[in-house]
Amino acid sequence: MSESIRFVDLIQSRIDGFLDARASILVSIADELSPIAAYSRDFLSGGKRFRALFCFWGWQAVRSAGNEDLETITPGGPLDAVVSAASALEVFHAAALVHDDIIDNSDTRRGAPAAHRRFESLHAENRWQGSGATFGTGAATLLGDLLLILSDELFDEGLTEVVSPSARRAARAEFNRMRIDVMAGQYLDIFEEIGWSSQPDADQLERAERVIVYKSAKYSIEAPLLIGASLAGATLGQLDALRGFGLPLGIAYQLRDDLLGVFGDASVTGKPSGDDLREGKRTVLIALTREAIPSGARSTLDELLGDPALTAQQIETMQMTIRASGAVDRVEKLIAANVARAIEALDAAPLGPQAKAQLRELAVTVTRRNY
């Protein structure tokens, strides 16, 4: 995975240089905008970079098709294009996280205060007038909006390095569709938190699966793969093969995330254990639990789910209920089945063999993680 490590370094360098240039614009307008610039850098420093890596290996998989060995990568031209596009995906992801934390009223992100909490603290430290919470929410919303704007600008910079007009159009179309899918999935996610009780119990699992597909699976893995492949001039057959790999893998990725949202170690995930329970997430894990437990226990779970004041003891009780229901084991089986579907599609794909090997490694990494 040394090539992946080198690519991640290129991503960080590209993001840093891009943000430095935009920070100078902000501070030239007013010194009061310096926290916006600083927080942008902080939220884009480090991270797993899974989306960037899937974009890169989608690109490599197409450009190396028919070759036993990967071509040597040199700076400039095609590499610059994919570095910029992959960096844009990371900036977009940061924007989505900022907005997601506001929507979920989350206090932390990656073990540090969420953006709206940082602005709230800034308000308190300076003893400004008005509500710190209101300022924090408003300022973080604008930070997320700025990152969305910057991601689009950075993506366009990458497209200028692509020679083929059809490749530019295809990559832009995938990027545009990804953004619509994420918005739709995010809305469906918050709708399920308040609208689940008006829907038949028999539909809960299917509705939870729909949220996974649009909020995470397509955006986290399928779309980055397709964007990278499009930049390399992928054929329709290659794109279909990558969809066959990316969507089930994206579902498995989010199912793992759902388990971590309930059982994850806060010191590793950077989020409080049981955070999804406090936020009332109607995940596949919860849908499977509700199917398996008696009506009385189901009523208790429904009553507690989504209470931000849940105690550690209540969280532990809910975790025990979920485990005892067999839902965790069922989710693990779903993860394994989706990974198997993804690998089967990848094995049959008309793509470069070494890039396919790297994608297999990534499939293991994203679905067996504990963070």
Query: Which residue would you say has higher pLDDT here, 189 or 74?
Result: 189
- The answer to whether residue 67 scores a pLDDT higher than 90 is no
Determine the pLDDT at residue 207. 95
Determine the pLDDT at residue 47. 86
211: tokens are: 């949220």
Determine the pLDDT at residue 69. 64
CB 227 within 8 A of CB 85: yes
Q: What are phi and psi of 235, to 5 degrees?
A: -80, 165
Mean pLDDT across the chain: 94
Determine the pLDDT at residue 370. 77
264: tokens are: 């994850």
Residue appearing with tokens 């832009």: 172
CB 279 within 8 A of CB 192: no
- The answer to whether residue 184 scores a pLDDT higher than 80 is yes
Q: Is 60 exposed, middle or buried (0-12, 13-18, 19+ CB in 10 A)?
A: buried
Residue appearing with tokens 């040597």: 72
Determine the pLDDT at residue 197. 84
191-227 CB burial, b ≥16 within 10 A, e <16: ebeeebeeeeeeebeebbbbbbbbbbbbbbbbbbbbb
- The answer to whether residue 110 scores a pLDDT higher than 90 is no
89-96: average pLDDT: 97
112: tokens are: 């540090």
Tell me, letter by letter, the H, E, C secondary structure of the chain.
Answer: CHHHHHHHHHHHHHHHHHHHHHHHHHHHHCHHHHHHHHHHHHHCCCCCCHHHHHHHHHHHHHHCCCCCCCCCCCCCCHHHHHHHHHHHHHHHHHHHHHHHHHHHCCCEECCEECHHHHHHHHHHHHCCCCCHHHHHHHHHHHHHHHHHHHHHHHHHHHHCCCCCHHHHHHHHHHHHHHHHHHHHHHHHHHHHHHHHHHCCHHHHHHHHHHHHHHHHHHHHHHHHHHHHHHHCCCCHHHHHHHHHHHHHHHHHHHHHHHHHHHHCCHHHHCCCCCHHHHHCCCCHHHHHHHHHCCHHHHHHHHHHCCCCCCCHHHHHHHHHHHHHCCHHHHHHHHHHHHHHHHHHHHHCCCCCHHHHHHHHHHHHHHHCCCC
Determine the pLDDT at residue 71. 62
Determine the pLDDT at residue 287. 96
- The answer to whether residue 222 scores a pLDDT higher than 70 is yes
Instruction: Quickly state the pLDDT bin for 61 (edges 50, 70, 90).
Output: very high
Is the dihedral angle over the CA atoms 115, 117, 120, 125 positive or is it negative? negative
Determine the pLDDT at residue 76. 66
Residue appearing with tokens 């939220």: 43
Determine the pLDDT at residue 113. 94
- The answer to whether residue 205 scores a pLDDT higher than 60 is yes
Q: Is 66 exposed, middle or buried (0-12, 13-18, 19+ CB in 10 A)?
A: exposed
- The answer to whether residue 253 scores a pLDDT higher than 60 is yes
Determine the residue type at 210: R
Determine the pLDDT at residue 196. 87
Instruction: Quickly state the pLDDT bin for 108 (edges 50, 70, 90).
Output: confident
Determine the pLDDT at residue 75. 64
Determine the pLDDT at residue 46. 85
Q: Note the pLDDT tens digit of each residue in 307-342.
A: 999 999 999 999 999 999 999 999 999 999 999 999
CB 58 within 8 A of CB 162: no
Determine the pLDDT at residue 72. 62
Q: Note the pLDDT tens digit of each residue in 112-148.
A: 899 999 999 999 999 999 999 999 999 999 999 999 9
Determine the pLDDT at residue 74. 63
